[in-house]
Structure 1
Amino acid sequence: MGLPFTVEVIPGGDVASRLQSHLAAPATVAVTCLPHHGPAKTVDLAVELAGLGYRAVPHLAARSVASKQQLAEFMVRLADAGVRDIFAVAGDAREPVGPYAWSLPLIEEIAATGGFETGFAAYPEGHPTVPEPELTELLLKKQELGSWAVTQMCFSGDVLSDYIARLRSSGVTVPIWAGVPGRVRRTRLISLAGRIGVGPSLKFAKRSGSLLRSVLAPSSYDPSRLVRSIETTGAFAGLHIYSFNDFRGLPRN
């Protein structure tokens, strides 16, 4: 694998100790924030990983942050642990539990506090509730405050290539990391994909003949062909690997 990469993990169980057996520090590890976990578990794991020498990137889901005070407390904990990056998303909670209904106000709050580089999400296959022109407009606003973007998980190099070309022509200039699945067991990929907001990518896979076979037929999905396609474009800053906590096939850093 020629591109730099980050690995996304899900809080729960002994994830930190298992990760150490497959990926050495100081690799970059993103920690997702699911509604049923909440941001506190994300921050806890990010602090733990930072203590083990990883470059931890916690996801903070705007709709799951209860108050400005809670956000401030999270940022103090993360800063004290040496965490330098935060990935801000709207989150999958149906209703906000606090003052942040979507990611831009959260990014603004983090930027106003200072001390962190902020990333944000990009959607190569669109968003179920936001039209594409509005998504692009939001990316243009976010890049004024943020530093990079990560795409929703996608199974198609062509889709990703076309998407980044459209972003660049629209004036989005921040580095874009391509979100790809790792070598994940088929059953785990299917069962968890929808829970982290990648359902559209699976629908795309099911419409795509040979792609369907590569995703659903083997016991584990093999991303090698997709990775080669992304590397060939030369347009992406790196790969963001959705591991689903299945670490056996991670590349060596």
Structure 2
Amino acid sequence: MSVADVVAAGVARTRPTISFELMPPRNPAAAPKFWDTASRLVAARPDFISVTYGAAGNDRDTARTVVGHLIKSTPVLPIAHLTCVGASRDDVSEVISDFLDEGVRSFLALRGDPPKDQPDWLPAEGSVASSIELVDLLREVEAHRCAASASTALRGAARPLTICVATFPDGNRDAGTTRAQEVTRLLEKQHAGADFAITQLFYEASSYTDFVTEARDAGVTIPILAGILPMTEPRRLHRVEELTGVPAPREVVAALEAAPDDDARHALGIDRTVALAQEVLDAGAPGLHVYTFNKYQAALDLLEGVHLGGGTRVPDLASGPWVSGSTTTTEGHIA
């Protein structure tokens, strides 16, 4: 067997990646439930967990604390969301340094949503106006820190900074972009230094596969991870449509609403989501990124459905930050 055959055989056995998105608890009372969910998701042995960061940095302190606790208490790679809308370069640079000081080595670089009540809003002069500029700034801050310290440079060489970006297979309503424009923007993000991309949620496999085909034809080479939302709650689907502009499949919503009880609704939604996830995996998606909305059961059932489940002992994260009796605290506002 040649080296090429050995490599090919190893690639054929490679397990698709699995990852989850978590949102920091909004207040101390929500912390126990949040850390229970995090524990159960960590037990599924994901490749990473991304932690959201509210628009304009509304969850800055909580996000940093959650990421720091995951770094210290679990073997799972945390990816810190980072937004830049409405923030100056100095402010964003400070946030980046705070995360790096916490031990974060992976970021999801996002523009963030502009103020909803300001339709004519434009980025201020001197602000970081786009995710592309944010990718540039992340690389710049890391380079400055490495240049200032040989120890930091050595640690950076051992654990390189990884930058993920978002991409929108059917266009981005908030940015007013089409699919073709999103392909172009993804190529620009790649040129700026992005290492991989995660798609916004979608409900038809062709949204993902057609986008990837167009992106590859345009010269995008970075991995494009499929973002999946479990379709188990009609109310959630309606809300996500309001937030993202991605229309929920009407036949699925109707079937969920007609289901006799929660168990039947959950089973129906998981079946539909498993079919979607399996189709994109069969088409070559490198993995699945599950938008959990801090609900673990649907996420885990989805993984079981595509034969990517199989967790280990649930770790004890119950004494995480903000939980009564915990010795870990954080300063600053808890959103």
**Category of TM-score, reference length = shorter chain:** 0.7 to 0.9
Alignment of 1:12-31 (within 5 A): 12=25, 13-14=30-31, 15-24=34-43, 27=46, 28-31=48-51
Q: Give the equivalent residue in structure 2 for 1:11.
A: 24
The CA distance in 1 between the partners of 2:280 and 2:225, in whole Å, is 10
Q: Give the equivalent residue in structure 1 for 2:327.
A: none
Does structure 1 retain, via aligned residues, the 8 Å contact 2:237–2:253? no
Q: Which runs of 5+ in 1 are unaligned?
A: none
The CA distance in 1 between the partners of 2:225 and 2:182, in whole Å, is 17
The CA distance in 2 between the partners of 1:214 and 1:154, in whole Å, is 18
Q: Does 1:167 align with 2:167?
A: no
| 55, 62, 82: which one aligns with 1:60 | 82
Q: Give the equivalent residue in structure 1 for 2:195.
A: 147
Structure 1 counterpart SS, 2:140: helix
Greater shift in the superposed pair: 39-48 or 138-147: 39-48
- 1:108-166: per-residue Cα shift (whole Å, max 9, x none)? 10011235211111111112212333322221111021100010001111221111111
Shift of the 3–82 alpha-carbon distance from structure 1 to 2, 3 Å rule, reads same
Does structure 1 retain, via aligned residues, the 8 Å contact 2:82–2:108? yes
Q: Give the equivalent residue in structure 2 for 1:224.
A: 274
Q: Give the equivalent residue in structure 1 for 2:150.
A: none
Q: 1:30 Cα deviation (Å)?
A: 0.6
Relative to the length of structure 2, the TM-score reads: 0.65
Structure exhibiting the larger radius of gyration computed from Cα positions: 2
Q: 1:246 Cα deviation (Å)?
A: 0.7
The CA distance in 2 between the partners of 1:177 and 1:112, in whole Å, is 25
The CA distance in 2 between the partners of 1:33 and 1:146, in whole Å, is 19
Larger helix fraction of residues: 2
Q: Does 1:124 align with 2:169?
A: yes
* Residue type of the alignment partner of 1:16: W
Structure 2 counterpart SS, 1:42: helix
Shift of the 187–46 alpha-carbon distance from structure 1 to 2, 3 Å rule, reads same
Q: Give the equivalent residue in structure 2 for 1:93.
A: 114
* Residue type of the alignment partner of 1:245: N
- 1:145-200: per-residue Cα shift (whole Å, max 9, x none)? 110001000111122111111111111111000000136433334335544x3x31
Structure 2 counterpart SS, 1:76: helix
Q: Give the length in aligned residue pairs.
A: 243
Q: Give the equivalent residue in structure 1 for 2:9.
A: none
| 139, 159, 166: which one aligns with 1:111 | 139
Shift of the 138–86 alpha-carbon distance from structure 1 to 2, 3 Å rule, reads same
Q: 1:104 Cα deviation (Å)?
A: 1.0
Q: Percent identity?
A: 23
The CA distance in 2 between the partners of 1:216 and 1:52, in whole Å, is 40
Shift of the 179–63 alpha-carbon distance from structure 1 to 2, 3 Å rule, reads same
Q: 1:215 Cα deviation (Å)?
A: 6.2
Q: Give the equivalent residue in structure 1 for 2:238.
A: 190
Does structure 2 retain, via aligned residues, the 8 Å contact 1:34–1:92? no
The CA distance in 2 between the partners of 1:161 and 1:215, in whole Å, is 26
- 1:12-53: per-residue Cα shift (whole Å, max 9, x none)? 132234310343286311112333862513333222222222
* Residue type of the alignment partner of 1:56: P
